[in-house]
């Protein structure tokens, strides 16, 4: 805890999962329409303790343990949202929500439009995803690209305790369905957070580091791999600009474009697969919007197009590592004329 004098902001060191828990707690206290549902979210407190003890404070009907039936409780949440409630679905693992693809895509994503605006669908679908440490292929899914093409959804990938809390509060207050991706390896990340309430915009990228040489676009856990790479690049005199996309749908092309007009070079770093991934969409959009600003082709550093191996050594080889990012920057800048 950091103690502040008059006029300063009080700060407290907070773990990622506790920052998310605080966001849910604050929103449930603020609005009686907010409730949580999912497998083991109540008495067990969630797979990663994001909902720990909330059922004691708000009761078992507002922190609702469900059967192992993702399609059923997601459909229940859509119906609840149509009546004015604000459900927060926790997926025990985001890969399991493929079982609810119909409810998320055909129901949550489309009902506001197909009802002529008669229904709002204020719901959040959140939970752990990404490549962990030897979780195996079915528990290492990155679903952002699966849902990126679905109209009516907003997609957010948080990356720090600070933006996790502020973005989750915004997602809960939004009148549209928000897919809120958390990375399984970030839950124990620590950061000093302000004690005062704050809410962050869902549709804005964050300029993590300003630079002149090249724009590095990334999101989720890869933000931290990029940060590691940049530390070594700085020692060698390179000056990359780093942008955390955060909002995967819609993409913040205002921030992206401003950076490209400055650096004229782009590297995309993602944990998503290369074929049909988020990077593929961002690259296509950059070429559509900013082609004349580019001095080199966009470089994509993405995961291998294979199911994630259980073997730890093989697993690490499937995703982008900091050294590969540093090498990509050097390779791109070596092409300067």
The predicted structure's pLDDT at residue 9: 65
Residues in the chain: 337
The predicted structure's pLDDT at residue 334: 84
Tokens coding 58:
């708000």
What is the model's pTM? 0.93
Q: Whole-angstrom Cα distance, residue 40 to residue 67?
A: 9
pLDDT tens track of the chain, all 337 residues? 444 444 556 678 899 999 999 999 999 999 999 999 999 999 999 999 999 999 999 999 999 999 999 999 999 999 999 999 999 999 998 889 999 999 999 999 999 999 999 999 999 999 999 998 888 888 888 899 999 999 999 999 999 999 999 999 999 999 999 999 999 999 999 999 999 999 999 999 999 999 999 999 999 999 999 999 999 999 999 999 999 999 999 999 999 999 999 999 999 999 999 999 999 999 999 999 999 999 999 999 999 999 999 998 998 999 999 999 999 999 999 866 4
Please provide the DSSP assignment of 48-76 as one string: TSTTTTHHHHH-TTTEEE--S-HHHHHHH
Contact in structure between 89 and 126 (CB atoms under 8 Å) = yes
CB under 8 A, 24+ apart: contacts of 53-57: 54/21, 54/24, 54/25, 54/28, 57/25, 57/28
Q: Whole-angstrom Cα distance, residue 129 to residue 278?
A: 15
First-last CA distance in the chain = 51
Distances (CA, A) of 189 to 12, 100, 184, 320: 14, 29, 11, 20
Q: Whole-angstrom Cα distance, residue 76 to residue 313?
A: 41
Q: Whole-angstrom Cα distance, residue 90 to residue 172?
A: 13
**Domains contained in the chain, CATH given:** 14-191 (3.40.50.970), 206-334 (3.40.50.920)
The predicted structure's pLDDT at residue 8: 55
Rounded to an integer, what is the distance from CA 177 to the centroid of its chain?
Answer: 14
The predicted structure's pLDDT at residue 1: 43
Q: Which residues are catalytic?
A: 70, 139
The predicted structure's pLDDT at residue 2: 45
């Amino acid at each position: 805890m950091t103690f502040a004098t008059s006029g300063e902001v009080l700060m407290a060191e907070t773990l990622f999962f506790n920052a998310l828990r605080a966001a849910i707690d604050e929103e449930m206290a603020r609005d009686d329409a907010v409730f949580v549902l999912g497998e083991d979210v109540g008495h067990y407190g969630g797979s990663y303790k994001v909902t720990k003890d909330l059922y004691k404070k708000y009761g078992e009907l507002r922190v609702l343990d469900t059967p192992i039936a993702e399609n059923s409780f997601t459909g229940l949440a859509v119906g609840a949202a149509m009546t004015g409630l604000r459900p927060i679905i926790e997926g025990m693992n985001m890969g399991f929500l493929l079982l609810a693809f119909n409810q998320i895509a055909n129901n949550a994503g489309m009902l506001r439009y197909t009802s002529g605006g008669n229904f709002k669908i204020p719901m959040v679908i959140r939970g752990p995803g990404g490549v962990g440490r030897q979780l195996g292929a079915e528990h290492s899914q990155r679903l952002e690209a699966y849902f990126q093409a679905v109209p009516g959804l907003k997609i957010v990938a948080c990356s720090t305790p600070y933006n996790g809390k502020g973005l989750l509060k915004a997602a809960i207050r939004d009148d549209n369905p928000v897919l809120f991706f958390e990375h399984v390896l970030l839950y124990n990340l620590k950061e000093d957070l302000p004690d005062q309430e704050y809410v962050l915009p869902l549709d804005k990228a964050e300029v993590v580091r300003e630079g002149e040489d090249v724009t590095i676009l990334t999101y989720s856990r890869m933000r931290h791999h990029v940060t590691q790479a940049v530390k070594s690049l700085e020692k060698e005199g390179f000056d990359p600009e780093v942008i955390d996309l955060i909002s995967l749908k819609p993409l913040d092309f205002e921030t992206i474009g401003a950076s490209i007009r400055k650096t004229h070079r782009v590297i995309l770093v993602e944990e998503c697969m290369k074929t049909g991934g988020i990077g593929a969409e961002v690259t296509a959009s950059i070429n559509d919007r900013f082609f004349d600003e580019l001095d080199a082709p966009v470089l994509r550093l993405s995961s291998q197009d294979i199911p994630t191996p259980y073997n730890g050594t093989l697993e690490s080889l499937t995703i982008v590592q900091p050294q590969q990012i540093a090498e990509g920057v050097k390779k791109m800048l070596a092409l300067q004329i």
